[in-house]
Structure formats: C-alpha cells, structure tokens
Structure 1
Amino acid sequence: MGTTIHQTNRTMLMETLNPEKMDFLTLVGDVRGKESLSDDKIKEINEHLLVRSFSEAIEKFEPTVYCYFNANNQ
C-alpha cells in the first residue's frame, strides 16, 4: 500500500522572480562527484532563498514585471 504524505506547510517554488537575484543552481554550483552538500553550503542556500511568508518573498526577491507594448497593434 502507498505511503500518505501529510501536509508539511512547505512549498518549493522553482521560478525566476528576479533575474538579478541569485538562484538555486548558482548557489549550488558544480556538484559533480559529490554525494551531498556541506552544512555551510546548505546554510548559504537557506539565507538566500528560504522565506517564511509571501511578504518576506516579495521583500527578498523583489519580483519584476516586464510589459511588452506593440505600437503597431495596441
């Protein structure tokens, strides 16, 4: 029988909110040949990417919105 995963109140968002901010792949770096990340690296990732609320995410990542206007048809 399958295992039920109960609510954890955690969500992983994999999206670029602001291209000028560090992202997960940049922070992890080259992991070829490594079994796991060091505690220091995990702390660094958490400092840059972990948030506990929507307002903290807005403050930390400063999402950007780009609009495209086509003068020929708008």
Structure 2
Amino acid sequence: MFHPLVLSLFLYFPEDKSEYIPASISFVIFLIGAFITMRIILKHSKKEAEKAKKLEEQILNNKASDKNS
C-alpha cells in the first residue's frame, strides 16, 4: 500500500542514544507543566462550584422567604 521509503521518512531512530536526552528533558518539563495546569484548573473549578452552590442556596432561601411573606 505505502512505499517503504515514504514510511521511513517519518521514522528516525538515532544510533547515538544521547540524542534522546534533550527530548526526554523537554517531555518531562511539559508533562510537569500539564500536571500543574490541570491541578490549577481543578482547584479553580472546585471554588467556582462552591460559589455556585452558595448562590443557589441563597436564591432558594430568598424564594422560600418570599413565599412565606
């Protein structure tokens, strides 16, 4: 189906394995960055959910007090 030359253009396995070191370092840096970003997003989302819940309770309490009046 595909010519082997075409497939070999996209694959590169270096003979000198020390060429993997910069790629590994950048991978680890981006992995840590992604993990930290995800933690920040989860914390912010949790705070927003708490705010929404408090606002919902406040609105429900206001509706209940308006019905009683």
Scaled to the shorter chain, the TM-score interval is: under 0.3
TM-score (norm 1): 0.27
More helix by share: 2
Q: Which has the higher contact order (CA 8 A, sep 6+)?
A: 1
TM-score, reference length from structure 2? 0.28
The structure with more radius of gyration: 2
